[in-house]
Amino acid sequence: MHCGFVPLVDAAPLIIAHELGFAANEGVSLVLLKQPSWSALRDMLVMGHLEAAQMLSPMPIAMSLGLGGIKAQVDALMVLSVNGNVIAASNTLVERMRAQGWESDLGDAGGVSAALEKAAQGPLRFGVPFPFSMHRELVEYWLGKRGLQIEISSVPPPMMGQALTSGEIDAFCVGEPWGSRAVDTEAGELILAGRAIWAFSPEKVLAARRDWTSDNPNQVAALMRAVFHAGRWLHDPDNRVIATDILARQEYLGLPADVIERAMKGHLLAQARSLGTEVQGFLHFNVGAANFPWRSQAQWIGTNLARRYGLDLSLAVEIARGVFRSDLYRNNLGEIGVDLPGASDKQEGALSHPTAVASTRGELILQRDRFFDGAIFDPASR
Amino acid sequence: MPNPLSICVIEKNRTRAQEVTEALHAGGWADVTVIEDEVSLTQTLAKIKPDLVLIDLANPRRDSLEALSEATGARQRPVAMFVDESDPELSTAAVQAGLSAYVVGGLSGERIRPVLETAIARFRMMAQLQSELDAAKKALAERKTIDRAKGLLIQAKGLSEDEAYRLLRKSAMDQGKRLIDVAQALVTASELLR
């Protein structure tokens, strides 16, 4: 089974499924293919060169809505990872923020946006990896709400640091290890962890074309089981040490292990040669039904896309909800005893602390999922 | 008759850029701009306003083009897209050659097709040359390693060159390994012991 990935820390569930034999255990012969860009990965999936792929969570929804590239019905079979993004600013911007009295706190979204507003000279140019990405959704939600002028452009993650240095952008939001990489090259400084904007945001999904999903139910189920087991394995901090070394290999990220380790441990360096900062819940692979593709998450993304591109809202929401296949998740993972939530929708942003909820085994505890502004997204009120 | 189609080629490698440009010129498309500098890519493209952008499929900057197509605004309909949606055969050929193309504006398929065919042919040729070059380089490097391994055996065991080679080959066959792997192991080990 040909499966595409982009060299990022959160490709870990696919890499571990392959390397530690979780895929082989399910009878899946997984061939991982590193892709140079999200657009290349998308085209390869649409044209049938890939059966499945790691994707930015808004990508399959955008594709199904016909936004960007070739329109194709693509399913998000499950969520691969939750959170894991960082926001960094150029040295000159950080200097101006400090001059206005800002003090670094990776968890204070409101404080950082206030400081950015004071320090901005004209519109802030923000780099994100792709037009259809959680990075963009987070930045627009966070700064758009404040009415801050922003110009968003797409920059490949490995080039984020360079783009800060050259002045192409003032700040960026990116997945690890590329934020830490920019810090190490002294291109800029981390100013916020993505989870400070939304404490439980679906970051990457496991995606496949709908026609392939429908034609190969057994392979789909086997792949989902393998990836689920890999995610559960990755939840253990001790295992993450091993995973770090595997990810560092040339065929995957091809970077020093210490820069990958920061995301894996949730221990970030905001500045080069600084002491680290612990970020609780920086990156989840399994905890609190992290892999469950909530219809409400899809609706949140679909609503944002519909507003931005002027699409019919109720139709876009309908399509988006259908992309996140909580039905397949229930069928394929319920079978092996995975604890399933009682509903496939939740009020996004309603939990300010871990909360036990109704589930098939009665053991499910959902994690904090607050938005920085305390807003609650209720999927029932369109 | 020069064709007024404006084409941008995004390519850092000068030889490759020149190859594509020459092929397009020969095909009658005179207005070809090469962009080498990837950092100011989006600004440069906004200035040139090309009808067609050609870029290596493996170039990570492709994702910046996706955003650019959006920035130009859906209202003016200059939607960039991956080759021609209505022409899956051409798309497949482009992918196999390692080329991606963005068509800006509502250009008709008939006008784009010949440009793409020319570019695809050239990309395919370049890809083939590159893989031949890589294979030749690899073969040369392997031969050097095998020669060094033979040298080590000649020195250590007083064998003739022929005997040294046969010993390497036998050892590889016995272990079910490739000759180059055995030779490499020997060279590495001798470096460690030095």
What ipTM is given for this predicted complex? 0.80
Rounded Cα distance between A3 and A28, Å, is 11
- Looking at B82, B109, B131, which one is the last position of a domain? B131
CB distance from B37 to chain A under 8 Å?
Answer: no
> With 80 as the cut, is the pLDDT of residue B71 above it?
no
pLDDT at position A84 is: 96
Instruction: State the pLDDT at residue A12.
Output: 97
Domain boundary among B113, B131, B149: B131
pLDDT-derived band at B124, boundaries 50, 70, 90: confident
Q: Across the strands, what pairs with B170?
A: none
DSSP collapsed to 3 states, chain B: CCECCCEEEECCCHHHHHHHHHHHHHCCECCEEEECCCCCHHHHHHHHCCCEEEEECCCCCHHHHHHHHHHCCHHHCCCCCECCCCCHHHHHHHHHHCEEEEECCCCCHHHHHHHHHHHHHHHHHHHHHHHHHHHHHHHHHHHHHHHHHHHHHHHHHCCCHHHHHHHHHHHHHHHCCCHHHHHHHHHHHHHHHC
Matching residue, tokens 């003032």: A170
pLDDT of residue B132: 84
Q: Sign of the CA dihedral A98, A102, A104, A106?
A: negative
Task: Name the closest residue on chain B to residue A38, using Cα atoms.
Answer: B63
In this prediction, residue B80 carries a pLDDT of: 42
pLDDT class of B81 with cuts at 50, 70, 90: very low
Task: Write down the residue that tokens 């939607």 correspond to.
Answer: B79
Q: Tell me if B1 is assigned to some domain.
A: no
**For B152-188, what is each residue's pLDDT tens digit?**
999 999 999 999 999 999 999 999 889 999 999 999 9
**Cα dihedral B178/B179/B180/B181 (nearest 10):** 50
Q: Which of A39, A70, A166 minimises the CB distance to B62?
A: A39
* Angstrom distance (rounded) from CA A45 to CA A26: 22
Smallest CA–CA distance, residue B32 to chain A, in Å, is 24
B93 and B48: one domain? yes
Q: Is residue B2 part of a domain?
A: no
Instruction: State yes or no: pLDDT of B136 exceeds 50.
Output: yes
What does the pLDDT read at residue B76?
A: 35
Q: How many CB pairs under 8 A join A and B?
A: 74
Q: Assess whether B50 and B91 both reside in one domain.
A: yes
Cβ A69–B82 below 8 Å, yes or no? Answer: yes
In a domain, B120, yes or no: yes
A2-82+201-255+283-334: CATH number: 3.40.190.10
CA angle, corner A262, sides to A260 and A267, nearest 5?
Answer: 170
A40 in contact with B, Cβ within 8 Å: yes
By CB atoms closer than 10 A (0-12, 13-18, 19+), residue A358 is exposed
Lowest mean pLDDT among A60-69, A70-79, B58-67: B58-67
Q: Are residues B95 and B69 in the same domain?
A: yes
pLDDT, average across residues A373-380: 94
Does pLDDT of B89 surpass 80? Answer: no
pLDDT of residue B69: 60
At residue A240, does pLDDT exceed 80?
yes
The reported pLDDT for the residue numbered B77 is: 33
- Lowest average pLDDT, out of A141-150, A232-241, B69-78, goes to B69-78
Q: How far apart are CA A204 and CA A58, in angstroms?
A: 9
Tens digits of residue pLDDT in A245-276: 999 999 999 999 999 999 999 999 999 888 88
- The b/e string for A96-118 (b: 16+ C-beta within 10 A; e otherwise) is bbeeeebebebbbbebbbbbbbe
Q: What is the number of domains present in chain B? A: 2
Q: Do B81 and A69 touch (CB under 8 A)?
A: yes
Look at B95 and A43 and tell me if their CB atoms are within 8 Å. Answer: yes
- What pLDDT, on the 0 to 100 scale, is given for residue B2? 45
3-class DSSP assignment, residue A167? coil
* Residue carrying the six token digits 């590329």: A178
Q: Testing the interface with A: which of B43, B53, B64 to mutate, by most A Cβ within 10 A?
A: B64
- B24 and B103 in a single domain? The answer is yes
pLDDT value at position B83?
Answer: 47
Confidence of residue B37 (pLDDT cuts 50, 70, 90): confident
Residues B139 and B81 in one domain: no
**Spatial distance between the Cα atoms of A271 and A287, rounded to a whole number of angstroms:** 29
Do residue B119 and residue B48 come from a single domain? yes
Asked if A156 and B60 come within 8 Å (Cβ–Cβ), the reply is yes
Residue B72 contacts A where some CB pair is shorter than 8 Å: no
Examine the fold and report which residue of B108, B131, B154 is the final residue of a domain before the chain moves on. B131
Query: Is there a domain that residue B138 lies in?
Result: yes
CA distance to A56, A133, A269, A351, B147, per residue, from A129 (Å): 10, 7, 21, 29, 47
The domain that holds B95 is classified in CATH as 3.40.50
SS3 for A35? coil
* Statement to judge: residues B127 and B147 lie in one domain: no
pLDDT at B79: 42
One domain for residues B114 and B146: no
Q: Per residue in A120-171, pLDDT tens? A: 988 999 999 999 999 999 999 999 888 889 999 899 999 999 999 999 899 9
Contact criterion met (CB below 8 Å) for B22 and B28:
no
B58 neighbourhood in chain A, CB within 8 Å = 36, 40
CATH number at residue B183: 1.10.10.10
What's the rounded Cα separation, in Å, for the pair B68 and A131? 9
pLDDT of residue B106: 59
Q: Write down the pTM of the prediction.
A: 0.85
User: Average pLDDT of chain A?
Assistant: 94
Please write the tens of the pLDDT for every residue from A323-356. Answer: 999 999 999 999 999 999 999 999 999 999 999 9
CA-CA-CA-CA torsion sign (A218, A221, A227, A233)? negative
CA pair distance A123, A118, nearest whole angstrom:
12
Domain with CATH 3.40.190.10 in chain A: 2-82+201-255+283-334, 85-200
Residue B155 structural domain: 133-193
Q: For residue A361, count other CB atoms closer than 10 A to its CB.
A: 10
Can you tell me the mean pLDDT for B17-34?
A: 86
Over pLDDT 70: what percentage of chain B? 84
Residues of B in contact with A69 (CB under 8 A): 66, 81-82
What confidence category does residue B130 fall into, taking pLDDT thresholds of 50, 70 and 90?
confident
| CATH 1.10.1060.10 is right for the domain spanning A85-200 | no
The whole-number pLDDT of residue B171 equals: 92
Q: What percent of chain A has pLDDT over 90?
A: 88
